[in-house]
């Protein structure tokens, strides 16, 4: 294992202004010999519509099978917060988050579900994964019901 080297955990850190400025960090996985699934849920993810500048809201569910590294959760929270003033379409935001996690932590497997609240009356759900789940990995349902409106 590599020595723990994080710059944000235990520190007062201002929210990054953009995803490009945000620092996503990984820490050594002490259980790297075990195939297991870790889940992050961000039920209040926000970004901006790149055309209108209006806020967009999503419920993100990130499932990953760690390898040698774990995503450090405070840095993930700050990374996700960095989208708050970032203009990007739903599909781009969802896949960008997943690809950044893959770049930093190099998991055995990752999938993301971006369950976006309606814009113009149409909810948009975005799903991406790195490939088939590894054999023997328990992958539970993401637990997000389809959008049913107010009725």
Binding residues for substrate: 71-73, 90-91
Calpha distance 120→107 (Å, rounded): 36
Query: What DSSP letter does each residue of the chain carry, written as one string?
Result: -PPP--SSTTS--PPPSSTTT----EEE-TTTTS---EEEEEEEEEEE-TTT--EEEEEEEEEEE-SSEEE-HHHHHHHHHTTTT-B--HHHHHHHHHHHHHHHH--SEEEEEEEEPPBTTB--EEEEESSSPPTT--------PPP-TT-
Q: Which of 33, 56, 125, 141 is catalytic?
A: 56
Calpha distance 125→115 (Å, rounded): 5
Q: Which of 49, 68, 92, 125 is catalytic?
A: 49
Active site residue 93: no
| β-strand partners of 109 | 65
Active site residue 125: no
Just list the catalytic residues: 49, 56
């Amino acid at each position: 294992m590599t020595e723990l080297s994080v710059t944000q955990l235990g520190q007062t850190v201002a929210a990054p202004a953009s995803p490009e400025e945000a620092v996503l960090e990984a820490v050594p996985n002490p259980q790297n010999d075990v195939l297991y699934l870790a889940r992050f849920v961000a039920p209040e993810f926000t970004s901006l519509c790149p055309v209108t500048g209006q806020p967009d809201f999503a419920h993100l569910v990130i499932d990953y099978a760690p390898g040698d590294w774990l995503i450090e959760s405070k840095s993930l929270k700050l990374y996700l917060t960095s989208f708050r003033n970032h203009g990007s379409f739903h599909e781009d935001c969802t896949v960008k988050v997943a690809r950044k996690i893959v770049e930093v932590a190099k998991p055995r497997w990752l999938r993301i579900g971006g369950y976006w609240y309606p814009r113009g009356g149409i909810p948009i759900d975005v799903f991406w994964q790195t490939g088939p789940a590894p054999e023997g990995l328990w992958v539970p349902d993401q637990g997000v019901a389809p959008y049913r409106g107010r009725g």
